[in-house]
Amino acid sequence: MASSLHPTAAALRSPWIRTLAALSLGLAACGPADGAPAEAFGAGELPIKGGEDDTTDTGVVAFVNLVDGSLCSGSLIAPNLVLTARHCVSAVLDTVGGGVVCDKTRFDEIVRADAFFVTTAAVVTKGNIGQFRVHDVIGLPEARHFVCGDDVALLILQGNVDAKTATPYEPRVAEPIAAGDAYTAIGYGAVDDSSSGAGTRRVRGELKVDCVGKDCDPKNVTKSEWTGETGVCHGDSGGPAIDAEGRVAGVVSRGKLGCDSPVYGHVQAFAGWIKDTAVIASGWGKYEAPAWASGSTESPQHGMAVGDACATDDDCYSKHCVLPGGYCSRECDDTAKCPGDYLCGDGAPRLCVDTTPTPPATVKSSYGTSPGRAPEGSCSIGVRGDGASVALAAAAIALAASARRRRRA
């Protein structure tokens, strides 16, 4: 039996385009306007059934997708890193009757990072939804693209969330969850079938894991998923299952109608990918990688900022100042690609080398030579280059006005 998809089915998106279009009129440089009214908004139909309002679990965040107007939940697992569901950041293809068929339903491309706003607020309003911007959206490797088993994503924020604002959760990466384990569900779903109350964080505890991976129905659940007891419906997608020790053990993916048999992405099954991304995020955020990320194969260099002005290596967090040019760089390789108009040079170490908007046709420095290339255009809200757009003219204009000379990793 196909399970119904939470907030990404087309029927659950379109009503919120009008809300987000109105929101855009209050944005300046993609941030909230001063004095914006505290009007709650959101997307979804049903709640964490039986849950209570939650003002204390600040590590559970909400975020809005400006492309389709949907609202999702996520877990802050490091100062600038949010774990959520992939279907919250991608369109979903090949559904059947609006539901998921595990050997058929898959993801489209990830929406660009500047389409997302994140907040730690207990109630989402026009005045606080722009609290944090997103630097990058990370999905599983290209080969992983089916909704069943692959429904996880990570958001790297542009800035760190201060410890006084929210406390990150530790993901349960070292051990699998088991049938019968207790967990707590948290999310921003609505409170009834009429979609009232969406955008308020709610919590429900005293839930139990039903089955894990191969012990579940193989038609509806993969080896990297588990099913819960009840209580999670539309609007709570991407939200966490918190285990008895306060760790994120699952990510809401989908469930049957009536809030039965919620399916969670099994966090431990994605441990390597989560650790690697956490190390990269720590480089971008300029903090020491969390202890739970130990064993990652990534170098913190791969997430460090590129483009800040410098005169010596000590001016750069990465300790790599490229001269002539006077800009901070970072190490790179064929897998740790460079941002924007930077290409990976051929020196030792290999560093991200700036390309120029005008001749010469090559850029030379002590770190290698790269072909010249004109810089990309200014940032704007869009999706996948297919002409899709939403009525966010004010936000787009503000984005264009804030286009910057320097690029960041």
- Looking at residue 233, its pLDDT comes to 66
Share of the chain above pLDDT 90, in %: 57
Alpha carbon distances (Å) from 131 to 85, 139, 403: 20, 23, 20
Judge if pTM exceeds 0.85. no
In whole angstroms, what separates CA 346 from the centre of its chain? 32
**Which residues, listed in sequence order, are joined to residue 370 by a DSSP beta bridge?**
363
> Residue 389: how many CB atoms within 10 A of its CB?
13
Q: What is the pLDDT of residues 256-295, one digit of tens each?
A: 766 678 999 999 999 999 999 999 999 999 999 999 999 9
Q: Are 67 and 384 in contact (CB under 8 A)?
A: no
Give yes or no for residue 103 having a pLDDT over 70: yes
Tell me what pLDDT residue 207 has. 94
Q: Give φ, ψ of 285 to 5 degrees.
A: -85, -5
How do residues 216-246 score in pLDDT, each as one tens digit? 999 999 999 999 987 776 678 999 999 999 9
* Beta strands 99-100; 182-187: pairing state: unpaired
At 28, is the secondary structure helix, strand, or coil?
A: strand
Q: By the 8 A CB rule, do 247 and 172 touch? A: yes
Distance in angstroms (rounded) separating the CA atoms of residues 38 and 123: 9
343-362 pLDDT tens trace: 999 989 999 999 865 443 34
Q: Which domains does the chain have, with CATH numbers?
A: 3-271 (2.40.10.10), 300-386 (no CATH)
Rounded to the nearest 5°, which phi and psi values hold at 155?
A: -110, 125
How much is the pLDDT for 195? 59
Comparing 179 with 407, the larger pLDDT belongs to: 179
